[in-house]
């Protein structure tokens, strides 16, 4: 798998889980489930994982590398990479328009 595709797909999957509006209900559900869990408990760690881009990127990268071993996974990886690239281009256009 092309390293650039891997990086773009990892970045996009990480952003999808930790920041996008589409997955906000999932993040809110995890936070409700974790509630007032003790610091460093399993629930606290899961809640941190879905809110922390640096933390999630490790697992996203692992998932991307695993998915790229399968035909349908390679398609998904390319879709995520294309989406990530499109967002980067869009951010560049917005910056130039300012």
- pLDDT tens by residue, the chain, 98 residues: 799 999 999 999 999 999 999 999 999 999 999 999 999 999 999 999 999 999 999 999 999 999 999 999 999 999 999 999 999 999 999 999 98
Q: Which domain holds residue 86?
A: 3-97
In the chain, how many domains are there?
Answer: 1
pTM for the full model? 0.91
Q: How far is 83 from 92, CA to CA, in rounded Å?
A: 14
Q: Please, are residues 77 and 1 in contact by the beta-carbon 8 Å criterion?
A: yes
Q: How far is 52 from 29, CA to CA, in rounded Å?
A: 16
């Amino acid at each position: 798998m092309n390293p650039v595709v891997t990086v773009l797909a990892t970045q996009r999957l990480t952003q999808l889980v930790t920041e996008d509006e589409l997955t906000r209900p999932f993040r809110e559900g995890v936070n409700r489930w974790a509630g007032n869990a003790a610091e460093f408990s399993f629930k606290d760690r899961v809640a941190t994982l879905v809110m922390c881009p640096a933390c999630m990127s490790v697992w996203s990268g692992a998932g991307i590398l695993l998915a790229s071993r399968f035909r349908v996974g390679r398609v998904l990886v390319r879709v995520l990479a294309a989406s990530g690239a499109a967002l980067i281009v869009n951010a560049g256009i917005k910056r130039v328009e300012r």
